[in-house]
Structure 1
Amino acid sequence: MRNYEITNILREGAVDEGKSAVKDILSKHAVTIQNEEDWGSKRLWHPIGQEEQGHFTFTKCQGSPAEIAKIEHEFKLNPNILKSLVIRANG
Protein backbone atom coordinates (compact mmCIF):
# COMPACT_ATOMS: atom_id res chain seq x y z
CA MET A 1 0.00 0.00 0.00
CA ARG A 2 1.24 3.45 -0.94
CA ASN A 3 0.22 6.91 0.22
CA TYR A 4 -1.48 9.26 -2.25
CA GLU A 5 -2.86 12.79 -2.26
CA ILE A 6 -5.86 13.52 -4.45
CA THR A 7 -7.07 17.01 -5.36
CA ASN A 8 -10.40 17.26 -7.16
CA ILE A 9 -12.21 20.20 -8.72
CA LEU A 10 -15.94 19.55 -8.52
CA ARG A 11 -18.73 21.14 -10.56
CA GLU A 12 -20.10 24.09 -8.59
CA GLY A 13 -23.77 23.10 -8.94
CA ALA A 14 -23.20 19.49 -7.84
CA VAL A 15 -20.76 19.64 -4.92
CA ASP A 16 -22.55 17.12 -2.70
CA GLU A 17 -22.96 14.65 -5.58
CA GLY A 18 -19.29 15.09 -6.48
CA LYS A 19 -18.09 14.51 -2.91
CA SER A 20 -20.20 11.38 -2.53
CA ALA A 21 -19.02 10.11 -5.94
CA VAL A 22 -15.37 10.52 -4.88
CA LYS A 23 -16.00 8.63 -1.62
CA ASP A 24 -17.92 5.88 -3.45
CA ILE A 25 -15.16 5.44 -6.03
CA LEU A 26 -12.47 5.26 -3.35
CA SER A 27 -14.37 2.76 -1.20
CA LYS A 28 -15.27 0.65 -4.25
CA HIS A 29 -11.55 0.17 -4.97
CA ALA A 30 -10.60 -0.55 -1.32
CA VAL A 31 -8.67 2.69 -0.83
CA THR A 32 -8.33 3.81 2.78
CA ILE A 33 -9.11 7.50 3.36
CA GLN A 34 -6.78 9.01 5.95
CA ASN A 35 -7.78 12.69 5.80
CA GLU A 36 -10.23 14.88 3.91
CA GLU A 37 -10.21 18.64 3.47
CA ASP A 38 -12.75 20.91 1.84
CA TRP A 39 -10.98 23.90 0.30
CA GLY A 40 -14.19 25.59 -0.85
CA SER A 41 -15.19 27.33 -4.05
CA LYS A 42 -12.71 29.32 -6.06
CA ARG A 43 -12.65 31.07 -9.40
CA LEU A 44 -10.70 28.99 -11.93
CA TRP A 45 -7.63 30.42 -13.65
CA HIS A 46 -9.14 29.38 -16.97
CA PRO A 47 -12.56 27.90 -17.69
CA ILE A 48 -13.00 24.13 -17.74
CA GLY A 49 -15.66 23.60 -20.37
CA GLN A 50 -18.26 26.24 -19.50
CA GLU A 51 -17.36 26.32 -15.78
CA GLU A 52 -15.58 29.38 -14.36
CA GLN A 53 -15.97 28.39 -10.69
CA GLY A 54 -14.99 25.12 -9.06
CA HIS A 55 -15.19 23.51 -5.63
CA PHE A 56 -11.85 22.11 -4.47
CA THR A 57 -11.42 19.04 -2.25
CA PHE A 58 -8.24 17.36 -0.99
CA THR A 59 -7.96 13.74 0.17
CA LYS A 60 -5.04 11.83 1.66
CA CYS A 61 -5.44 8.10 1.14
CA GLN A 62 -3.67 4.78 0.93
CA GLY A 63 -4.04 2.17 -1.81
CA SER A 64 -2.35 -0.03 -4.37
CA PRO A 65 -1.01 1.46 -7.63
CA ALA A 66 -3.28 -0.74 -9.76
CA GLU A 67 -6.39 0.50 -7.94
CA ILE A 68 -5.26 4.12 -8.17
CA ALA A 69 -5.06 3.80 -11.97
CA LYS A 70 -8.67 2.56 -12.01
CA ILE A 71 -9.73 5.41 -9.74
CA GLU A 72 -8.17 8.02 -12.03
CA HIS A 73 -10.08 6.53 -14.97
CA GLU A 74 -13.40 6.66 -13.07
CA PHE A 75 -12.75 10.27 -12.04
CA LYS A 76 -12.44 11.18 -15.74
CA LEU A 77 -15.78 9.52 -16.52
CA ASN A 78 -17.74 11.33 -13.78
CA PRO A 79 -19.39 14.54 -15.08
CA ASN A 80 -19.37 16.16 -11.60
CA ILE A 81 -15.58 15.95 -11.33
CA LEU A 82 -14.10 18.62 -13.59
CA LYS A 83 -10.41 17.87 -12.95
CA SER A 84 -8.44 15.54 -10.74
CA LEU A 85 -4.80 15.32 -9.67
CA VAL A 86 -3.44 12.19 -8.00
CA ILE A 87 0.13 12.21 -6.71
CA ARG A 88 2.14 9.69 -4.74
CA ALA A 89 3.08 11.04 -1.31
CA ASN A 90 6.04 10.07 0.82
CA GLY A 91 5.55 8.43 4.15
Structure 2
Amino acid sequence: MRNYEITNILREGAVEEAKTAVKDILAKHAITIQNEEDWGSKRLWHPIGNDEQGHFTLIKCTGAPAEIAKIEHEFKLNTNILKTLVIRSHG
Protein backbone atom coordinates (compact mmCIF):
# COMPACT_ATOMS: atom_id res chain seq x y z
CA MET A 1 0.00 0.00 0.00
CA ARG A 2 1.23 3.44 -0.94
CA ASN A 3 0.17 6.95 0.05
CA TYR A 4 -1.47 9.18 -2.54
CA GLU A 5 -2.98 12.65 -2.79
CA ILE A 6 -5.88 13.06 -5.20
CA THR A 7 -6.91 16.56 -6.21
CA ASN A 8 -10.18 16.83 -8.11
CA ILE A 9 -11.87 19.75 -9.84
CA LEU A 10 -15.61 19.12 -9.71
CA ARG A 11 -18.32 20.71 -11.85
CA GLU A 12 -20.20 23.54 -10.15
CA GLY A 13 -23.85 22.64 -9.53
CA ALA A 14 -23.08 18.94 -9.08
CA VAL A 15 -20.54 19.09 -6.25
CA GLU A 16 -22.26 16.80 -3.74
CA GLU A 17 -23.13 14.28 -6.44
CA ALA A 18 -19.51 14.28 -7.67
CA LYS A 19 -18.10 13.94 -4.13
CA THR A 20 -20.33 10.91 -3.56
CA ALA A 21 -19.22 9.40 -6.88
CA VAL A 22 -15.54 9.90 -5.97
CA LYS A 23 -16.00 8.17 -2.60
CA ASP A 24 -17.91 5.30 -4.23
CA ILE A 25 -15.15 4.78 -6.81
CA LEU A 26 -12.46 4.81 -4.11
CA ALA A 27 -14.39 2.34 -1.95
CA LYS A 28 -14.97 0.04 -4.93
CA HIS A 29 -11.19 -0.19 -5.49
CA ALA A 30 -10.28 -0.64 -1.79
CA ILE A 31 -8.66 2.80 -1.50
CA THR A 32 -8.62 3.94 2.15
CA ILE A 33 -9.35 7.65 2.69
CA GLN A 34 -7.20 9.15 5.46
CA ASN A 35 -8.10 12.83 5.13
CA GLU A 36 -10.33 15.06 3.03
CA GLU A 37 -10.10 18.78 2.38
CA ASP A 38 -12.66 20.94 0.59
CA TRP A 39 -10.96 23.93 -1.00
CA GLY A 40 -14.18 25.44 -2.31
CA SER A 41 -15.02 27.07 -5.63
CA LYS A 42 -12.43 28.93 -7.63
CA ARG A 43 -12.28 30.53 -11.05
CA LEU A 44 -10.29 28.34 -13.42
CA TRP A 45 -7.18 29.75 -15.10
CA HIS A 46 -8.30 28.15 -18.38
CA PRO A 47 -11.88 27.06 -19.02
CA ILE A 48 -12.47 23.30 -19.08
CA GLY A 49 -15.05 22.85 -21.81
CA ASN A 50 -17.76 25.39 -20.97
CA ASP A 51 -16.84 25.54 -17.27
CA GLU A 52 -15.06 28.64 -15.99
CA GLN A 53 -15.51 27.78 -12.29
CA GLY A 54 -14.61 24.60 -10.48
CA HIS A 55 -14.92 23.15 -6.98
CA PHE A 56 -11.59 21.84 -5.68
CA THR A 57 -11.14 18.91 -3.29
CA LEU A 58 -8.12 17.07 -1.92
CA ILE A 59 -8.18 13.48 -0.67
CA LYS A 60 -5.22 11.86 1.08
CA CYS A 61 -5.46 8.09 0.84
CA THR A 62 -3.66 4.75 0.67
CA GLY A 63 -4.06 2.04 -1.90
CA ALA A 64 -2.44 -0.44 -4.23
CA PRO A 65 -0.66 1.08 -7.26
CA ALA A 66 -2.58 -1.17 -9.67
CA GLU A 67 -5.88 0.28 -8.43
CA ILE A 68 -4.81 3.90 -8.96
CA ALA A 69 -4.84 3.57 -12.77
CA LYS A 70 -8.32 2.08 -12.55
CA ILE A 71 -9.72 4.93 -10.44
CA GLU A 72 -8.15 7.54 -12.73
CA HIS A 73 -9.92 5.91 -15.67
CA GLU A 74 -13.27 5.91 -13.83
CA PHE A 75 -12.82 9.57 -12.85
CA LYS A 76 -12.38 10.44 -16.56
CA LEU A 77 -15.68 8.73 -17.36
CA ASN A 78 -17.62 10.89 -14.87
CA THR A 79 -18.72 14.15 -16.50
CA ASN A 80 -18.98 15.91 -13.10
CA ILE A 81 -15.25 15.43 -12.45
CA LEU A 82 -13.55 18.00 -14.68
CA LYS A 83 -9.90 17.21 -13.85
CA THR A 84 -7.97 14.88 -11.57
CA LEU A 85 -4.37 14.91 -10.37
CA VAL A 86 -3.05 11.89 -8.48
CA ILE A 87 0.41 12.08 -6.94
CA ARG A 88 2.29 9.66 -4.72
CA SER A 89 3.08 11.21 -1.35
CA HIS A 90 5.64 10.24 1.24
CA GLY A 91 3.63 10.78 4.36
Residue 13 of structure 1 deviates from its aligned partner by 1.1
2:70 aligned with 1:75, yes or no?
Answer: no
| Structure 1 residues 33-72: aligned runs within 5 Å | 33-72=33-72
Runs of 4+, deviation exceeding 6 Å: none
Alpha-carbon displacement from aligned partner over 1:47-67 (angstroms, at most 9, x marks no partner): 000000000000000000000
Aligned residue for 1:27? 27
CA distance in 1, matches of 2:71, 2:89: 16
**Aligned letter for 1:26?**
L
- Mapped partners of 2:71, 2:10: distance in 1: 15
SS at match of 1:13: coil
Query: Identity of counterpart residues, as a percentage?
Result: 84
Letter aligned with residue 86 of structure 1: V
Task: Give the whole-Å Cα distance in 1 for the aligned partners of 2:64 and 2:18.
Answer: 23
Cα RMSD (Å) = 0.4
Cα distance in structure 2, aligned partners of 1:69 and 1:44: 25
Q: Normalized against structure 1, the TM-score is what?
A: 0.99
- Structure 2: state its 5+ residue gaps: none
| In structure 1, C-alpha distance between the alignment counterparts of 2:84 and 2:18, rounded to whole Å | 12
Instruction: List alignment gaps of at least 5 residues for structure 1.
Output: none
